[in-house]
Amino acid sequence: MLDSDAGTIVPAGEDGRAGIDAGLVRRLVAAQFPRWSRLPVTPVPVDGWDNRTYRLGTDMTVRLPTAAGYVPAVAKENEWLPRLAPSLPVAVPPVLGLGVPGEGYPYPWSVRGWLPGETADRSRVDELPRFAVSVAEFIRALQRCDTTGGPAAGEHSFYRGASLAHYEEETLRCLTALAGRVDTARAAEVWRAARAARWSGPPVWFHGDVAAGNLLVAEGRLTAVIDFGTSGVGDPACDLVIAWTMFSGASRRAFRETVARDAGMWARARGWALWKALLVLTGTIDTDPEQAAVNQRVIREVLDDHERSASVT
């Protein structure tokens, strides 16, 4: 299982982020879970930003938040993943233990079961339209889960599942910063349409970061979904962003047909995709040509999709 947070994947290593390294993990495990104290502790090959993840033996992982803002996800995932798992069509991380602050580390942390598989790079997927259907089926299954007592979208989900209004000022700043470098007039129109398409349905479960780095594949098929740190109960439009970030052509059509949501949902989904792509592009357009190109493509395809939808209606 690889670890990815909010779509950001970084090389693993002993970078000491939040004072976390393999030595700390060994001490925490020895103090709080002595039955596992003899197992080796090694960094995962690809790590996330919100959490550091280490292999514990061959069948477990230890996951530690890197900052206070990521701490609410620990209790949330530990409580809700076991409840959601039986209703989902693919595996999610099994919760094996909840750690507490100690050994100089200030946050709660968790022990999870290891899930085999690799992240869903296009080269690892046998048939992308079929894969898109399986991702859509996971999203629909998650939306059918019982929401009683579930965590309402808000700060703990980084406002995924809430109104796009939370990111209004940030989006407008990005549009100003990118003037003359992307079609900001069309982008502003897409953003206005997204903001106008208010969610009026009953709140449902959402994952919050359905991205390639959080989807595991084995033998070309979806086998697991990881990192529910931004999950909650609210508007699931944020879970449709993968339509533009990973899918295109036949796979996008297959995903859209299977998810089968109304025009307002897709308008808000375009807003979520646009916000993130503008934000990342603003920070990379002059420093990371490869990352900038990816987000420029997403922006173009979101804008084109909006125009096609407007012509149909």
Per-residue pLDDT reduced to its tens digit, 162-180: 999 999 999 999 999 999 9
Say which residues have a Cβ less than 8 Å from residue 151's Cβ, sequence separation at least 6: 76, 80, 157, 231, 232, 233
Same domain flag for 300 and 209? yes
Q: List the domain range (segments joined by +) for residue 107.
A: 10-115
Q: Is 160 helix (H, G, I), strand (E, B) or coil?
A: coil
What DSSP designation does 230 have? T
Measured CA to CA, the distance from residue 89 to residue 92 in angstroms comes to 9
If phi > 0 it is left, if psi is from -120 to 50 it is alpha, else beta; for residue 227 that is: left
Give residue for tokens 């939306």.
143
Same domain flag for 152 and 294? yes
Measured CA to CA, the distance from residue 290 to residue 89 in angstroms comes to 34
Confidence band for 8, pLDDT divided at 50, 70 and 90 = very low
Residue 4 inside a domain? The answer is: no
Measured CA to CA, the distance from residue 13 to residue 10 in angstroms comes to 9
What type of residue sits at position 100? V
* Count of other CB atoms within 10 angstroms of residue 44: 17
Say which residues have a Cβ less than 8 Å from residue 62's Cβ, sequence separation at least 6: 25, 28, 29, 41, 53, 54, 56, 99, 109, 110, 111, 112
Same domain flag for 145 and 110? no
Q: What is the CA radius of gyration of the chain?
A: 20
Which of 115, 139, 168 is the endpoint of a domain?
115
Which of 83, 115, 147 is the endpoint of a domain?
115
Give the CATH number, domain containing residue 278: 3.90.1200.10
Lowest model confidence (mean pLDDT) among 43-57, 220-234, 255-269:
43-57
Q: How far is CA 13 from the centre of its chain?
A: 22
pLDDT tens sequence across 42-77: 998 877 778 999 999 999 999 999 999 999 999 999
- In Å, what is the CA distance from 296 to each residue of 12, 55, 76, 246, 276? 27, 36, 34, 14, 11
Which among 67, 39, 69, 68 has a CA at the least distance from the CA of 54? 39
Same domain flag for 94 and 191? no
pLDDT tens sequence across 10-37: 333 444 466 899 999 999 999 999 999 9
Give the CATH number, domain containing residue 51: 3.30.200.20
Which among 194, 84, 86 has a CA at the least distance from the CA of 148? 84
pLDDT tens sequence across 190-216: 999 999 999 988 999 999 999 999 999
Crossing angle of the two packed helices 184-196 and 289-312, in degrees rounded to 10: 60
Which pLDDT does position 18 carry in this prediction? 62
Same domain flag for 59 and 205? no
Q: State the average pLDDT for the chain.
A: 92
Same domain flag for 280 and 218? yes
Q: pTM to 2 decimals?
A: 0.91
Based on the structure, what is the number of domains in the chain? 2
Which pLDDT does position 5 carry in this prediction? 39
Q: Where are the alpha helices (DSSP H) in the chain?
A: 22-32, 72-84, 128-143, 168-177, 184-196, 242-245, 249-259, 263-284, 289-312
